[in-house]
Amino acid sequence: MEQASEAPGAGVPGWDDPLKIRRLRRPEPVSESPPAQVVLSLVAARQESDVRRTRAAAEWAAQLRRFGRSALWALPVAAVALGLNGWFGWPPHGGSEALRWLLLAQLALAAGLLGIIALTGLLIVTKARRWALVALLVTIAGVVTLGPVAGLVAVGKRDGLDAGALVLGIAAVTLGVLGLVALGAAVLASGVLNGSDGVLLMAGAGVAVLAALVGQSVLQVIAALLLLAASLGIAWTGSRLTAD
């Protein structure tokens, strides 16, 4: 008499329990090796660090834009100080009036330089970046040169300057005018500011040259008014620029 054939899987423990077989066949979870865990943790830390740096850079850029938009209002302050100096006229030899003239002159130079730095920072991302950088560099050279000359004018008579100081003053005024012309060209080429403000800047620079040649304080006041109109327009428009 033939033996009955064994059922398939009879040698497997628990073959008669389908649920147990299913549990036995379920793959065990593969645990990550220690080197792999180290690599994954390093990658995650690197990604988190990149996110933090990106967020910090965005916040820094936003703060710089806010500072630049606020510092644009230094341009009208410079124009007002220049106009007041023209209104009061050239200072006499020494005295409190000479000190007032010197303070107003230094205020005009410092505020004008601050405003031009702010405007250059805002225009650096536009197609007028080259004109803006030229205006900034030329203006810095003019301010550095004109500052000592203003001190000489305040402590002595204008006609009493020696030849070296006179040449230095002419060079400083020339650099300042060229800086205003370059700044006007930057405003015209920017595409984000009013072109009429650039024209007013150039016109104010031209009248300032005429005032320096003729020596009339009235022309200096007119130049300051033109520069004031231009700077107010630039500050008003530039303070509302966005990153988009």
- Who has greater pLDDT, 114 or 45? 114
Apex 191 CA angle, 187 and 193, nearest 5: 50
Mean pLDDT, to the nearest integer, of 50-59? 70
Q: Are 61 and 121 in contact (CB under 8 A)?
A: no
Question: Within 13 Å and on the Cβ side, how many CA atoms surround 18?
Answer: 0
Nearest alpha-carbon partner for 238 in 22, 100, 42, 68:
68
185-216 pLDDT tens trace: 999 998 888 889 999 999 998 898 888 777 77
Taking the whole predicted model, whether its pTM rises above 0.75 is answered as no
Decide if pLDDT at 80 tops 80. Answer: yes
